[in-house]
């Protein structure tokens, strides 16, 4: 037993050191300078990705952005506008041939859609993109709102004071 303890002790110390560094680092970072005097943040995210993996990654980051604003006492008002080939990754039934290769990503995207919807984030899908990429709008999750033109929607949100966050 003593031999095992001596052998594992350096690994245990390293683990505790890394864990304590990660914990303290997370607690010290904030966006106080950028958020100085801001009570509400109005943002419209434009997302346009070529892959399911990138779509899943950034949808999850948008959930984290919402939560980060809340944690820092700023009320988020967010809209996500989906254009381009990204529309192919919003539903398993929209492109069943992609589902086999990207099951994990589709599940992650669906989870992010639900989490954003739960937080009151509006997610819009460009009807031009769904037509171009042959996605039947009826196959999209009910949490999504199909709009006529994603660019027009972006113009409208920006005219209402939402700041553009382009992600592609």
Alpha-carbon span 154 to 46, nearest angstrom? 8
Q: What percent of the chain has pLDDT over 90?
A: 74
User: What is the reported pTM?
Assistant: 0.81
Mean pLDDT across 60-77: 98
Tell me: the pLDDT tens digits for 28-58?
799 999 999 999 999 999 999 999 999 999 9
Q: What is the pLDDT of residue 110?
A: 94
How confident is the model over 69-107, as pLDDT tens digits?
999 999 999 999 999 999 999 987 766 666 656 788 999
Burial (CB count within 10 angstroms: exposed 0-12, middle 13-18, buried 19+), residue 61: middle
> What pLDDT is attached to residue 15?
45
d(CA 63, CA 137): 24
| DSSP 8-state class, residue 89 | G
94 touches 57 (CB < 8 A): no
Dihedral of the alpha carbons of 101, 105, 107, 111, in degrees to the nearest 10: -170
Using one digit for the tens of pLDDT, what is the confidence trace for 115-130?
A: 999 999 999 999 999 9
d(CA 124, CA 120): 13
Sorting pLDDT into bands at 50, 70 and 90, what band is 24? very low
Fold of 40-167: Hypothetical Protein Ychn; Chain: A, (3.40.1260)
List the structure tokens of 103: 């099951």
Task: Give Cα 4 to chain centroid, integer Å.
Answer: 44
Q: Indicate the average pLDDT of the chain.
A: 86
Q: Delimit the domains of the chain by residue range.
A: 40-167
User: How far, in Å, CA of 108 to CA of 89, rounded?
Assistant: 11
DSSP string, 60-74: HHHHHHHHHHHHTT-
């Amino acid at each position: 037993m003593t031999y095992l303890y001596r052998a594992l002790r350096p690994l245990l110390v390293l683990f505790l050191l890394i864990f304590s560094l990660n914990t303290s680092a997370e607690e010290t970072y904030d966006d106080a300078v950028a958020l100085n005097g801001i009570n509400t943040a109005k943002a419209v995210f434009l997302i346009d990705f070529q892959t399911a993996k990138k779509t899943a990654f950034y949808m999850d980051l948008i959930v984290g952005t919402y939560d980060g604003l809340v944690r820092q006492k700023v009320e988020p008002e967010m809209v996500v506008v989906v254009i381009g080939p990204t529309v192919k990754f919003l539903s398993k039934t929209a492109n069943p041939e992609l589902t086999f290769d990207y099951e994990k990503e589709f599940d992650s995207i669906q989870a992010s859609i639900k989490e954003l919807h739960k937080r009151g984030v509006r997610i819009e899908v460009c009807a031009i993109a769904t037509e171009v990429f042959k996605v039947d709008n009826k196959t999209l999750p009910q949490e999504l709102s199909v709009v006529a033109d994603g660019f027009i929607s972006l113009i409208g949100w920006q005219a209402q004071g939402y700041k553009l966050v382009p992600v592609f």
